[in-house]
Amino acid sequence: MTAIPTSADPIELFHAWLALADEKELNDANAMALSTVNSDGVPSSRMVLLKDADAQGFVFYTNLGSQKALELAANPVAALLFHWKSLRRQVRVVGAVEAVTDAEADAYFASRPRESRIGAWASKQSTPLEGMFELETRVAKFAAKYALGEVPRPEFWSGFRIKPSRIEFWHDKPFRLHERVVYVPGDGGDWEKERLYP
């Protein structure tokens, strides 16, 4: 029975698992369920794509008018769940949330395909849409507006960083004797880890 490596650094272990998922998953190995809570304490989950992960945290980008962004503004904590079915593994992350810097958002936005940048301008994310023609009209409008030159980042589009206070690695094992290893920040910037019963 292969055990989860006892790495001292959960971010390093996460990247090793993500690299393997990139090889094995059919698509979007960086997909993660993001759970937020509104001001009334009602939870909400949706799939988003991880765009960066380092010692500072886990980063994703969105329209700042979206439900998730509004909920994070009201209650800046979140949970993430990566589930790689082909590997029978998952990673759970919980932590406080902060906005990325303008420089980070600008750099990532500039790296996106032009059509995605136009789409960011066209979408009034999470608001009612009468029909697809309305969206197509807005796409055409902004494609014409930015026909020449660069497409700038909208002021209503940016990113968030989840700063982990807990990271759990889960690996499926026979007879439901699953392996679970949890990391939490310790004193002096190191991580403390422990195993949990399945």
Task: DSSP letter for 105, please.
Answer: H
Q: What is the dihedral of CA 26, 107, 100, 148, to 10 degrees?
A: -100
Distance CA 99, CA 162 (A): 9
The residue behind tokens 């990113």 is 159
* Annotated catalytic residue, options 112, 117, 153, 176: 176
Query: What's CA 165's distance to the chain center, in Å?
Result: 16
Distance CA 90, CA 104 (A): 28
Identify any residues that bridge with 182 across adjacent strands, giving them in sequence order: 168, 194
The residue behind tokens 């393997």 is 20
Decide if 176 is catalytic: yes
Distance CA 138, CA 27 (A): 29
Distance CA 44, CA 55 (A): 26
Residue positions annotated with a catalytic role: 176
